[in-house]
Amino acid sequence: MKIQPPVNTPYQQLKHSKVGKIVRENKVLTGVAATAGTVVMAGASVQSEAFAKVAQYGIAPAAGLGLAAVSALAAHDAVVNDLPERPFKGTAKLAAGAAGTLGGLEIVGHSLNIPVLDQAFSTPLRKLAENGQGLLGVAVAGGGVAAGKFAVQRFQAAAQGESRARNLSLGLASGVTSAAATLGGVELIGRNFQIPVVDQALTGTVKALAAGGVGSVAAGALLVGGAVQLAGEAAHNFKKGGNDFVTLAEGMGAVTAGLGGLQLAGHGLGLKATEGLLTEHGPLMLATALTGTGASALKSSAQNIQKSGVRPLNSLGLTAAAGLIPGGLAVAADAVGMQAASRFLGDATLTGLGLGMGVTSYAMGRSAVDSARRGDLMNAAGQGLASATLGAGGLFTVGAGAHIPGLETAGRKVLQSTIEPFLDHVVVPSARFLFNNPLAGGACLALGVGGYLAARYSTW
């Protein structure tokens, strides 16, 4: 798939401006300067009531508005430039942009004591944590929409005379699947928010259809057939490199329709084993979402590695896939009572995460070497530190997942000989000096950052 040049959004303009270039090329320096500056302002606020007022009513709100504005521009750019062709990257960028926007507004709200705004980020975050079933319902309903789109395409193909019998049957099966998945998603949302009638959208339909045994079995068989077809379409879409969102939605729809069809047919046949197979087994749908997301991350990262080689971002995608795929399968195994398989897959999840961290450690280390060769010592130091941390964490995690105590010990030893001394002898003393001596610390920080940038960009 050919990637089109990005639309020149305000975020792209900011990204390619002189300031944006400095920030992009000096991520470690930017992070250190922002953190150190915050410590300096905190120390000055403790020591001076006047400065505390300036910080609360001037500096902090300005910083919050800046964060919110840049994050909102990034979210807009994700929708315009990333989601259409790079859905996995676009989703992550959109989520980060939304979080940054709300976080910046909450900083403003706290600083100026503005009700509601002072909970702009924390309240939605809490609601997301409390309403996981509703979010799952949105994903399932999305699967229904994808199935409906596929059904329309099949009917259109049949109308044009292309394999009429096959396309008609596929369209009918996918249409029924679409209805089941959409109703299932709506019911999950209704149950989450305790909305009468809506919380029985699928269950009530199943009960009505199940009034007649023969009709229940026939409808269930049709649903299962549609689910098989939709699952095949999801697999085909994944193999050909289609839109990841569509692939995941089709997978969710296939699972929903398949479980609903088995429950409906089993009810008609009087099989107790199929009772509540869909309506009481939300974890199976969660497992599908986790595994599908992991598969999308795997495909996107593998394609990027093939094109650009192993880099920190695509290796992070591999790490996410290594955890999500076996993790989703572990949830599914636990949901159907296969505890031994679930425990094995849980260990596989830890092992996969650890191996992924190892790959990311390698990518970060190679990036540190490249930065050092270019004379970019600040980024090289930060990337080297990150590489050591990820490597040690990877050893520890693989050891925990594979039950190899030696690897756990090795990971712990690496941290004790690298990260802990750096924290104890560099980070903590520096932070203490900046906090206790804000004037001198601020001057040293300004001179250090300014001198480094002047030396690096002396040709500007």
Q: In terms of DSSP H, where are the helices of 336-437?
A: 339-373, 377-402, 405-417, 419-422, 428-436
**How wide is the angle at C-alpha 146 spanned by C-alphas 126 and 262, nearest 5°?**
90
Residue 315 and residue 321: Cα distance in Å, rounded? 10
For residue 412, give the nearest of 389, 443, 446 by alpha carbon.
389
Residue 261 and residue 220: Cα distance in Å, rounded? 4
Q: Which residues, given as ranges, of the chain have pLDDT below 50?
A: 1, 460
Residues 6 or more apart from 102 whose CB is under 8 A from it? 68, 120, 121, 124
Using only the alpha carbons of the chain, give its radius of gyration.
Answer: 27
- Whether residue 361 contacts residue 394, with contact meaning beta carbons closer than 8 Å, is answered with yes
- Give the tens place of pLDDT for each residue, 207-254: 676 565 676 787 778 778 777 877 877 787 777 777 676 677 677 777
Q: Where are the domains of the chain?
A: 25-130, 133-280, 283-427
Residue 121 and residue 105: Cα distance in Å, rounded? 8
Q: Which pair of structure tokens corresponds to residue 101?
A: 């926007």
What is the predicted pLDDT for the residue at 1?
46
CB atoms within 10 A of CB 218: 15
